[in-house]
Each structure stands twice: as structure tokens, then as C-alpha cells.
Amino acid sequence: MKTYSLVLCLLVAGAADGFAQDNQIILYPDSGRHEISRHIYGHFSEHLGRCIYGGFWVGENSKIPNSGRIRTDVVEALRDIDIPNLRWPGGCFADEYHWMDGIGLRDKRPTMINTHWGGVTEDNSFGTHEFLELCSLLDCEPVICGNMGSGTIREMSQWVEYLNSDNVSPMTNLRKENGQEQAFGVTYWGVGNENWDCGGRMTAEYYANELRRYSVYCKNYGENELYKVACGPSRDNYHWTETLMKDPQTRNSFHGLSLHYYTICHDWEKKGSATDFTEGEWFTTMQKTLKMDEYIGKHSEIMNKYDPEKTKGLIVDEWGNWHDVEPGSNPGFLYQQNTLRDALLAAVNFNIFNKHCDRVKMANIAQTINVLQSVILTKEDQIILTPTYYVFKLYKVHHDAILVPHRISSELYTVDYQSIPAIHTSCSKDENGMMHLTLTNLNPNKDINVECSVHGKESLKIIGGEIITGEEMNAFNDFGKPESVNIASFDDIEVEDNKLKITLPARSIVLIKVEI
């Protein structure tokens, strides 16, 4: 019997009225083999702007409800989307962070200047213990990124020992003196960050040598085995991936290889407004976001050459929309609003990650609160759940589910003689056999009729549907106002001749639950 392990996208120019042949999806639920790791839906928190301070962490004796200075409204919101992991302390900040400055009595901790992000004073009141307490409250896995740029092998080695050792040793005793009797047992460990740029401006060859050295001294303690994430490439730096994968000693020094890709509408100097944009800028954003599929595919091809059994994960630990900062805010704080455009971008990325779940094992949106494409914005005691937040909530159904392969033909969305497929989709089947189909309509102006069939199934039952959309393509949620973007019920679905007939509203993300 023929099986379909890859998603085939057949692009058809133009579109006819009604349920024509242009927009068709065929699902193959019995051919699914790969699990979509919940860790694909991970998050990133850096000491940058108001992500930590004012986001997760409040001042001493704050009137904002908190648990040990960690905001309870933020914890409750993140628990509601089943946050699987949280990456910390950076980012570029990681390679100037010295972890011993952030332990012990808080009023005795030394300060530092955050040279990467705004030149502000970092008081180190939020350190290792505070971060791991946050992860405990969130019931998520900590992902710690070590300092290879300005740190030492000894420093990183001792941090691992401090976190994970129960042996009699100076680091174990120090941890106990600081109030933690049992080892934390941290599994996920980044060996440097962006070492091709802010992490030391290394060549791939130099980093590969350093990676081997550092990896030797980042040891396993007890039954806890580290999952070491090597600094990987940015965008299309395929030489970096080739260098780290081709040598067996280097390849055996890590378990996951990171990939960073930010969607920037224009360029680094003038990225464009988060809220005031044209349809052309909407289109360019979606077009550039779809490059993620190309980058993952080509880096995976290199990894497949040296690791055909796919023992190494591709870890997309920084991704998202990067816009200009909001007017009047500190340029070094990277604070931006979050619109329906960002929500569509998140959905497309999730569909791509799901598609490549045989290789992509973790991803972390940049960043969780008040920085770049945030899922939460805060202002004093107020909190906003952004359109991107609701995409994370909608896509929870894919956590640890089996990817359902599919074929899709989509009409094109065209602006200024350039085109992209209007429909983007992902599907999975959970442990109870329930199938969840998520679809995006990237055309902000036109509703699209889609016909979906399920191979090998004689009957289909629609259990329900949900939708994220907005009245305008730049709809966003703001302080002191009712939400403009949220999750609503969706029922523009019917079953006819054992096929789903779906009308996707313009600029929308739709989830359909189907019993097969």
C-alpha cells in the first residue's frame, strides 16, 4: 500500500467560485508515523527590556499578586497554554551572564551592565533559583543557555554540577547552602548562543573545536542525562551546519542543533511598524515567514546526510516577527505590539514545525513577555493576552500527537505580481484517535472554500470548530479595551459525500475537530 510521508503542496493559479478543485486537502490518518513534540511550542525569556523585570518578576513588596515576586497572572496565563519549556537567560545576554552573580542572598549579589540591551543595570535579583522556581510554578522544563562567549569551561561545568549533582562536592554544598537540598535535574542545556555573532563572532570551525571542549566537561550526574544544544546557524548559513555535522567527534558532542530565523518585513535598519502596515507589508511578512520551510528543509538535508537515523534534533530556539519598537519606548527594550498578522505568522510557523517534526524537536518563540513577538504584554498590574497567545492556545491539540500526512492544492494569494499559497495547514491525531485540522487563510481580503477528504475513512463526524480572526488585518488587543482578537466558535463546516466542506474566512486561523 502506498503511504505518504511528506506533505506535497500543489499550487494552482487562480480560484473558481464554490468548492472547486483548486482548494483541496487529502488527509492520510493511517500513514502517520512521527510525533509532534510538545516542545515545539516552547518559549524564550531573556534579560531584555521588561521580559524578566516587570514581566515575570515584580518589585519587593509589590501590590501586584505574586508568589515570591513571580507574577501569578502571568503564571496562570502560561499554564493555560500548557507551556512545555522556557529558555533562559538569553539570547545575547547569556554570553555575558555569569551565573554565580545570580545566587545567594539577593541584597549581596553584584550588579552588572546589560551592554546588549539598553545599557541598563542588571541587579541579578532574578537568577538560577528564581528561574527554576518559575519553571516549577509553570510545570515546564527549564532550558538553560550557558556562557561560552565571555565565560570559561570551568564556569559552565560548575553550573551543571551546581544544578544536577548530589555528590559531596563544593558545588553541591553551595546549592544546599542556598536552600536547595535536592539536585534540580536540569536536562536541556545550550552550549553557547549565536556564537557566530554576539556570542563571540566565531567561525564555524573555531566554534566546533570549542564545542567539543565544553561538551566534555558538561557532565551527567546521577540518572540525569544532559540534552546538549549546540549553537547552530542563522537562516541559510549551511556551511555552519555542515561543519558541525560532518566530523564525528563534533557531531557526538551535542544532541540538538539550534536554528535562528526572525521574520523582518523590510530590513534591519527599518523593520516596519507592528501595527501600521499595508497589505503589501502583510504579504511580504507571510512570504518571508514561509522561508522557514526552506531553511529547515535544507538544514535537515545536511543533517540527514550525516545522521540518517535522525538522532540529532533541530532546535529552532529563536523565531518570530521582529518589528520596530513602539514609539516612545526604549529602542534597546524591543517592545512591540502584536496583531492578527503576528498570529497568522505563528500559525504558519507551527504548521512548518509540525511538518518537520521528524527532525524539529523543540522551538522557542522570541519572546514570552514584552519583547518582540510576545504572547503576553504587561503594564504595571495590567496584562494583555496577544493574538499570538491565542494561537498557542488553539494549537495545544497538536502537543505530542501523531502528525497526519496530507496533500494540499491551494489557490494563490497574489500582490504586486508575486504569489504565495493562500492556504496553509497541519493535522494530527491524538491518543484517543481524534483528528485535529488547523488551517490558515493568508489572504486578508477573501473567504476561501476548501474541500477536505480523509483517505480510507467511510464516515466523518465533526466534533467542533474554533477560529481566530479580526475585523482588520492589524487588529490587536490593547490595555483598557475589550479584546479584538480571541478564540471564537466556528461552524462553517459541513460533511457532504464523506468530505469536509469548509469556508475559511479571510485572514483567519481555524481548528476543526473530526472523529474518524
Q: Which residues are catalytic?
A: 194, 318
Cell numbers for 157, please give them.
561545568
Q: What share of the chain is helix, strand, coil (3-state, %, to 5)?
A: 30, 30, 45
Spatial distance between the Cα atoms of 149 and 255, rounded to a whole number of angstroms = 20
Pairing state between β 508-515 and 499-504: unpaired
Grid cell locating 95: 554570553
CA atoms within 13 A on the CB side of 453: 12
**Nearest-CA neighbor of 261 among 293, 220, 294, 292?**
292
Integer Cα distance of 357 and 354 in angstroms: 5
Name the burial class of residue 453, with classes exposed (0-12), middle (13-18) and buried (19+) by CB atoms within 10 angstroms of its CB.
middle
Q: How many CA atoms lie less than 13 Å away from 106 in the CB half-sphere?
A: 13
What residue type is assigned to position 191 of the chain?
V
Q: Specify whether the CB–CB gap between 84 and 39 falls below 8 A.
A: yes
Is the alpha carbon torsion for 81, 87, 92, 97 positive or negative?
positive
Q: Is 163 helix (H, G, I), strand (E, B) or coil?
A: helix
Place of cell 482578537: 485
Q: What CA–CA distance (Å, rounded) separates 473 from 279? A: 8
Three cell numbers, residue 263: 521574520
Which DSSP letter does residue 379 get?
Answer: E
The rounded distance, in Å, linking the Cα atoms of 423 and 440 is 6
The residues near 164 (Cβ < 8 Å, ≥ 6 apart) are 183, 184, 185, 186, 220, 221, 222, 224, 226
